[in-house]
Structure 1
Amino acid sequence: MNSILFYDGDCGFCQRSVQFVLKHEREPVFNFAPLQGKVATKLLPVNLTQNLDTIVVYQEGKMLTESSAILFIAKNLNFPYLFLIIFKVIPTPIRDYFYRIISRNRYKFTYSRNICKIPKENVRKRFLE
């Protein structure tokens, strides 16, 4: 089963991050679903679907959030982004602190929240409701 990457569907920065993952994956590992969607409601605890400040990676019943999710994603990217996993040596509370700073300010990184690139057919099937 592929991992599911849950993201804030109303956030332009988050949507661009999904496009980045699609472009730089070594192989198709992720399906994508908004935290506001039906799949998230079915698979994730309520606190994660209401807290749109975190990215969630769901794989085989396990959930990774914040910097741990980012490092899992990085592990599946092409060179040179693969090397982001070096940040795993930093203790999780410190990594998550910096993650939260970026997350709280993510709307400042894009001009529009509603940026939606229409993916090609072969990629579109990887997007879940």
Structure 2
Amino acid sequence: MLRRANRRSFDLALRASGRMTPKWGSGHGTVMTAEGTGDDDWRKREVMMTAEQRAELKGRVVLLYDGHCGLCNRVVRFCATRDPARKMRYVPLQSEVGRELLARYGETPDSLESAAIFLHAMTREERFFHHSDAVAWALRQLKAPWNWVGRLVGWMPRFLREAVYAFVGRVRYAVFGRYPVCPLPSAEMRSRFVGLTDAGCVRT
């Protein structure tokens, strides 16, 4: 399982480099630029995001999560209530917005099988992390002491945190349930969620 995850991380970087120009990369995180490439294939994809959605996400920290997962929705609400600066925006993987963000890296929600996070989203400084790295970076955006917990998670040996992430991923539906549609957050939080009303979020 871990060898497969590491190999997928390497394959992800290779596939991304065919569509975007890497400026720096390490492990599960890569800084990419979507400009100045000779390959415009990614530009020819169907644009799913509205101008309003693009403006809401650009330059922010964007967390992609499984909108049907009971645990993932709890984690997102946990983050939103501990992010007083409102740094993060939350996008369900199943939404058209989430699919468009992943497609730039040659991924889909089914192929990635993981939460993901974008730092400086949709800018030349964009960085993309997934699996346990996404968890660590999400925690680092929160107020103390959770930002320090995120740093501790990032300092843990990768094989250990990836093993924990894989185990939780296998049991999350059985233990925490699965929603048939992406649930709406409270009115107070709703402005920080993007893509909740997309078709992919209401399919069973």
Structure 1 unaligned spans of 5+: none
Aligned CA RMSD, in angstroms, stands at: 2.1
Q: Which residue of 167, 176, 181 corresponds with 1:110? A: 176
- How far is the alpha carbon of 1:26 from its aligned partner? 4.2
Alpha-carbon distance between aligned partners in 2 of 1:87 and 1:111, rounded to the nearest angstrom: 25
The reply to whether residue 55 of structure 1 matches residue 121 of structure 2 is: no
- What TM-score comes out, normalization by structure 2 length? 0.56
Query: Partner residue of 1:7?
Result: 65
Query: Partner residue of 2:153?
Result: 87
Greater relative CO, 1 or 2 (CA 8 Å, sep 6+): 1
Highest CA radius of gyration, 1 or 2? 2
- Contact 2:88/2:141 (<8 A) preserved: no
- What TM-score comes out, normalization by structure 1 length? 0.84
The reply to whether residue 99 of structure 1 matches residue 165 of structure 2 is: yes
- Contact 2:184/2:190 (<8 A) preserved: no
Query: Partner residue of 1:128?
Result: 194
- Contact 1:53/1:100 (<8 A) preserved: no
Which consecutive segments of 4 or more residues in structure 1 shift more than 3 A?
45-48
% identical aligned pairs: 24
Q: How many residue pairs were aligned?
A: 128
Alpha-carbon distance between aligned partners in 2 of 1:88 and 1:34, rounded to the nearest angstrom: 24
- How far is the alpha carbon of 1:51 from its aligned partner? 3.9
